[in-house]
Every structure is written in structure tokens, then in C-alpha cells.
Amino acid sequence: MNSAPLKRRRRVRKRGLKIFSRYAEIEKALKRHLPKGDDALSRAMRYSVFSGGKRIRPILTIESALVCRGSLKDALPAAAAIELVHTYSLIHDDLPAMDNDDLRRGKSTCHKVFGEANAILAGDALLTLAFNIIAKNTKPALGIKIIEELSRAIGVEGMVAGQALDLEFRGKAKKKMIAEKINILKTAELFSAAAKIGALAAGAPTGEIKALGRFGLDLGLSFQVVDDFIDGESADNIEARRLAETANKELAIFGGRARKLKDISDYLLKRKK
Ligand code: GRG
């Protein structure tokens, strides 16, 4: 029996997402694109981007591009942009008007360190910088497609709508359907967009883009169920495993080339933070 996949999975569990190709390149790209200034806004942006995020979404974009035989170079600007969007959402999610959290990733939240106004502006600036990075570093026709996909996933049909729904039902008993809708909008849509955008950057055919979109959506749902499990809001993660299995089935068209994407779902299932 070939024990290589098993060994690889153990290695992924032990070393986390750093094992995935191009982790270091993502860090370099983020550094390159962020402002260097010593003003509060620039410092607040850098503080939140470099405070220990797992980089799941940009890794997903890059591995999706690679599975479609695309290049790192073509996927990297959008991958970095997606991480900036994610960081904006966390900064705003932590604000007093939202979750009012003092800690994020074990460190003081952006508004605790830089004040509420600077934290709001840092989020705004990261969000707008994300679209600027895509516009400046992608061929126009492709850039428009990526911007269309990303903006759909994070706005009134995606993440922000999910946050609004979450706020509406906060403290109230939620029907399973509402809870799932919140997870889809707040979390899974961005995972799905991250995977699809990798495929788009690779110039993949429609069938591959759609398959990766479905993979990302189920992976995002599985990720969120695990997140609730870690936070003690969910009793077990059998549901997360089921969703991860459904996600992995979407990768059948890629055969053995999808190994790294499957490693990502495996890692997300076993993670402790
Ligand atoms: C527009 C005012 C305004 C607020 C928007 C959109 C939004 C606020 C909040 C929703 C975003 C959110 C917090 C979704 C939850 C998803 C989630 C579990 C995020 C944590 O993701 P990880 O574990 O984070 O990938 P790391 O720390 O690894 O980067």
C-alpha cells in the first residue's frame, strides 16, 4: 500500500498551512502591497494583516490556479487581495458596533490598539486596496471578471449580507436554515470566490471554474462548522466531515492533481484554531 498520502496528511496536520506551496510568496506579496508609512492608518493596516492569520483563502486561490495548470504569478495579486478583504472583514467584525471583541488571534484587536476611527479606516483602506491590486496587476478583461466575482461574494449578496443577517438574529434561536444561510453568506461565499478566482486567473474552462466554486462553498461551510465547534457553539464535527467529503467529491475532474486541495480540507477539519 502506498503510505505517501497518509504521511503527507500527518505532515500537514503537524506543520499547518505553511506546508502549502507559496506560503512565503503570499507573505512577500502582502508586504509589497501594504503601505510603508509610519502614520496610524498604515500601521493599523499592517498590524492586522501581519498578526498571525492562517492565509487559508489566498492558499486556496493559489492551489486552485495550480490545479488548473495556471501559474503562481498570475494568481498571486488576486490571492493577496482576497487576504486583504478577509482582514478588513475581521477588523470591522471586531468593532464595538459589531462583535465588540478585545482580542483577535490572541492579540489586541485593531480598534483596541489604534482607536475605533483608525480601525474603521484601516478596514476601508484594505478593502479598497484589494480592488486596486487586482486592477493594476491583471489584464483588463480578466481583472473585470475577478472583480465581479469578488465583489459579488463580499457585498449585499455575500459577506456583508451574512453579517447583517447574523446581527438580525443575534441572541435569538435560529432555525437550521437561517444558521446555514448565515454561514454561506458570511464565510462560504468568500471561500468559493477564492477558489473560483484561482481558476479564473489560470484561464480554466467553465467546468473547472464551477467545480472549484462548489468545492470552495462546501469547504467554507465545513470550515465554519469546525469554527463553531472550536468556539463551543457546535456539539460535534460530524457535519463538518460530511461537508468536507462533499467538497472533495467536486475535485474528481482533477484526478490525482487535486491532492493539495484535499490536504487543505483535511487540515481545516483537524485544526485547533
Ligand atoms: C461592513 C461594518 C462592516 C462590517 C463587515 C463582513 C463583516 C463585517 C464580517 C463578516 C466576516 C466574518 C468575521 C466572518 C466569519 C468568518 C471567520 C470564521 C473568520 C475567521 O477566519 P480564519 O480562521 O482567520 O481564516 P485567520 O485568523 O486565520 O485569518
Distance 89 CA to ligand 1 centre (A): 5
pLDDT in tens, 88-107: 999 999 999 999 999 999 99
Cβ of 83 less than 6 Å from ligand 1: no
pLDDT 10s digits, 24-61: 899 999 999 999 999 999 999 999 999 999 999 999 99
Q: Yes or no: say if 20 and 260 are a contact pair by the CB < 8 Å rule.
A: yes
- Candidates 247, 94, 70, 234; CA nearest to 163 is 94
Quick check: CB of 160 below 6 Å from ligand 1? yes
241 close to 220: Cβ distance less than 8 angstroms: no
CB 186, CB 155: distance < 8 Å: no
Dump pLDDT digits (tens) for 115-124. Answer: 999 999 999 9
The ligand 1 atom at the shortest distance from the C-alpha of residue 224 is 18
pLDDT in tens, 116-161: 999 999 999 999 999 999 999 999 999 999 999 999 999 999 999 9
C-alpha cell at 173: 434561536
Residue nearest to atom 11 of ligand 1 (CA): 89
Q: Is 124 in the pocket of ligand 1 (CB under 6 A)?
A: no
pTM: 0.93
Mean pLDDT (whole number) for 224-248: 86
pLDDT digits (tens, 9 = 90+) for 159-203: 999 999 999 999 888 888 999 999 999 999 999 999 999 999 999
Q: Ligand 1: distance of its center to the CA of 7 in Å?
A: 32
Ligand 1 centre and the CA of 55: distance in Å? 12
Residue 187, ligand 1, Cβ within 6 A: yes
90 Cα–ligand 1 center, Å:
4
Strand partners, 103: 108
Distance 143 CA to ligand 1 centre (A): 24
Ligand 1 midpoint to CA 245 (Å): 24
- Phi, psi (5° rounding) for residue 261? -65, -40
Residue 7 confidence class, pLDDT cut points 50, 70, 90? low
C-beta separation of 92 from 123 below 8 A: yes
- The SS3 call for residue 107 is strand
Determine whether the shortest distance from the Cβ of 89 to ligand 1 is under 6 A: yes
Would the CB of 186 count as within 6 Å of ligand 1? yes
11-270 classified as CATH 3.10.50.40: no
From residue 197, how far is each of 81, 100, 119, 150 by CA, in Å?
Answer: 11, 32, 28, 8
